[in-house]
Amino acid sequence: MPNDVAERSAAGPVESDQRGRTGPGTGGRNGVGPRGQAAERLYAALDLGTNNCRLLVAKPARGGFHVVDAFSRIVRLGEGLAATGLLSDAAQNRAISALKVCADKLRRRNVILMRHVATEACRRASNAGQFVSRVYEETGLALDVISTKEEARLAVLGCQTLLPADADYGLVFDIGGGSTELVLVRQEANGSIDIAAWTSMPWGVVSLAEAFDTDQASPGVYALMKERVGAYLSTFEMQARVSEKVNSGRLSVLGTSGTVTTLASLHLGLTTYDRRQVDGCWVPSGSMRTLASDLAAMSMDQRAELPCIGKERADLMMAGCAILETILDFWPIDQLRVADRGIREGILRVLMRRDGLRL
């Protein structure tokens, strides 16, 4: 049985911006409806990643928007991609099964303003074009395979409201299935946010796990994972000079991903995942590093028994922890802010703003 998750509450705000800030980000539409009472419309954002298929359906609300429907399923579209360069038939079938659920939700709610994006797995696969065509034929959903730059922009746009107003700079990172995006943003005096530098590492929880033998916990393997990630961080440091901002105390770090939210839930001692407590929380970086190294030393069975992880995530946690711990070791900070939001929220903000709504 697939593990479907009704992400976030079906009611209640999941995004707000009391500062009225604007930020970078562009996006297209799969459907265009008449203008008019935009505040009454439903908008949808779908993100097909290397590991997950996620959907949000929302309506505008004061200070942001309310989610009225959501869906999440682990599909592992990028499984085996590093070895073959192809999206396997089994992975495609899993993804299309999840996308059919999403398409049904969109039809039942009569959503016409939407955007559906695909990321690293489809960027890398040589048969991605055939897969996108198959998705359209079988579900009616038009996937937009976005660039790494667009992915980074949408991730920032989706969670930028969690950046503290008194920080001159923010480092936003998103650990995905096939890649990890890092974005250095500059907060201007007028409240706007500009992207100062960005990079996309070809290492996410799936791609890094498949590059190493993670069946058994091994300090040696974990160290090699961190070394692989560290090489990309060194290049980004030369470009963005993040350390200068860290040392001056002018930078805040914001992490968004399943790895980050899972570790935050463990830090908070939650027995079941609760987005309301996790999204926006601050966690000492020392606690994050300790949790990451402790999880990496466990067996998959031990990780699977922990709250908020389970069997479907246990085999990928070691890779996620290696990426996270390397980032925190590379740029030492006192605390990390956690975001349970990202690309889909960024898409929704773009679509609503294009309808003239002020978010």
- β-sheet with 169-175: strand ranges across: 193-201, 180-187, 169-175, 251-256, 335-339, 282-284
Quick one: which of 357, 354, 281, 278 has its CA closest to 63?
357
**pLDDT tens per residue, range 337-351:** 999 999 999 999 999
Please report the pLDDT score of residue 214 as a whole number.
64
- pLDDT at 63 > cutoff 80: no
Please report the pLDDT score of residue 320 as a whole number.
95
> What length does the chain have?
359
- pLDDT at 9 > cutoff 50: no
Asked if 72 and 215 sit in the same domain, the reply is: no
Number of domains, the chain: 2
Least reliable range by pLDDT among 25-34, 190-199, 229-238, 330-339: 25-34
Kindly state the average pLDDT of the residues 89-111: 97
Q: How far apart are CA 157 and CA 12, in angstroms?
A: 20
Local confidence band at 13 (pLDDT 50, 70, 90 cut-offs): very low
Q: How far apart are CA 319 and CA 328, in angstroms?
A: 15
Neighbours of 136 (CB within 10 A): 13
Asked if 241 and 109 sit in the same domain, the reply is: no
Quick one: which of 70, 52, 66, 64 has its CA closest to 7?
70
Please report the pLDDT score of residue 310 as a whole number.
82
Q: Which residue has the higher pLDDT, 217 or 1?
A: 217
Asked if 141 and 98 sit in the same domain, the reply is: yes
3-class state of residue 280 by DSSP: coil
Is the pTM of the predicted complex or chain greater than 0.85? no
Q: How far apart are CA 192 and CA 76, in angstroms?
A: 36
Do the beta carbons of residue 214 and residue 319 sit within 8 Å?
yes
Asked if 174 and 122 sit in the same domain, the reply is: no
Please report the pLDDT score of residue 359 as a whole number.
67
> What are the residue ranges of helices labelled H in 300-342?
300-304, 311-314, 317-330
Q: How far apart are CA 344 and CA 49, in angstroms?
A: 11
Q: Is residue 324 in a domain? A: yes
- Reported in sequence order, the residue ranges of 193-303 that DSSP labels E, i.e. its strands, are 193-201, 251-256, 282-284
3-class state of residue 144 by DSSP: strand
Average pLDDT score over the chain: 87
Local confidence band at 26 (pLDDT 50, 70, 90 cut-offs): very low
Which residue has tokens 């160290």?
223
Helix axes 317-330, 258-267, angle to 10 degrees: 80
Q: How far apart are CA 251 and CA 169, in angstroms?
A: 5
Asked if 347 and 335 sit in the same domain, the reply is: no
Cα dihedral 15/205/222/265 (nearest 10): 30
Q: Give the range with max mean pLDDT: 11-25, 56-70, 184-198, 226-240.
A: 226-240
**pLDDT tens per residue, range 121-143:** 999 999 999 999 999 999 999 99
Q: Is residue 30 in a domain? A: yes
- pLDDT at 151 > cutoff 70: yes
Q: How far apart are CA 66 and CA 16, in angstroms?
A: 10
Local confidence band at 279 (pLDDT 50, 70, 90 cut-offs): very high
**pLDDT tens per residue, range 189-206:** 777 789 999 999 999 999
Local confidence band at 274 (pLDDT 50, 70, 90 cut-offs): very high
Please report the pLDDT score of residue 342 as a whole number.
92
- pLDDT at 10 > cutoff 50: no
Asked if 327 and 348 sit in the same domain, the reply is: no
> What are the residue ranges of helices labelled H in 109-188?
120-124, 128-139, 148-159
Q: How far apart are CA 239 and CA 232, in angstroms?
A: 11
Asked if 126 and 182 sit in the same domain, the reply is: no
Rg value, the chain, Cα: 19
Please report the pLDDT score of residue 43 as a whole number.
96
Q: Is residue 155 in a domain? A: no
CATH number at residue 34: 3.30.420.40
Residue 350, H or E segment: helix 343-354
Q: How far apart are CA 25 and CA 150, in angstroms?
A: 7
Q: Is residue 68 in a domain? A: yes
Please report the pLDDT score of residue 31 as a whole number.
41
Task: Report the amino acid identity of residue 171.
Answer: L
Q: Is residue 359 in a domain? A: no
- pLDDT at 290 > cutoff 80: yes
- pLDDT at 215 > cutoff 70: no
Q: How far apart are CA 277 and CA 263, in angstroms?
A: 13
CATH number at residue 218: 3.30.420.150
Residue 206, H or E segment: helix 205-211
- pLDDT at 11 > cutoff 80: no
Residue 348, H or E segment: helix 343-354
Which residue has tokens 């059919």?
100
Please report the pLDDT score of residue 127 as a whole number.
98
Asked if 115 and 44 sit in the same domain, the reply is: yes
Least reliable range by pLDDT among 179-183, 214-218, 343-347: 214-218
Residue 75, H or E segment: none
Kindly state the average pLDDT of the residues 92-111: 97
Asked if 95 and 228 sit in the same domain, the reply is: no
Please report the pLDDT score of residue 22 as a whole number.
27
Asked if 182 and 316 sit in the same domain, the reply is: yes
Please report the pLDDT score of residue 38 as a whole number.
63
- pLDDT at 100 > cutoff 90: yes
Quick one: which of 14, 17, 41 has its CA closest to 29?
41
256 phi, psi to nearest 5 deg: -135, 125
Please report the pLDDT score of residue 212 as a whole number.
86
Q: Is residue 219 in a domain? A: yes
Please report the pLDDT score of residue 184 as a whole number.
96
Q: Is residue 220 in a domain? A: yes
Least reliable range by pLDDT among 5-19, 70-84, 234-248: 5-19
Residues of the domain holding 272: 161-339
Asked if 67 and 178 sit in the same domain, the reply is: no
Asked if 99 and 207 sit in the same domain, the reply is: no
Q: Is residue 154 in a domain? A: no
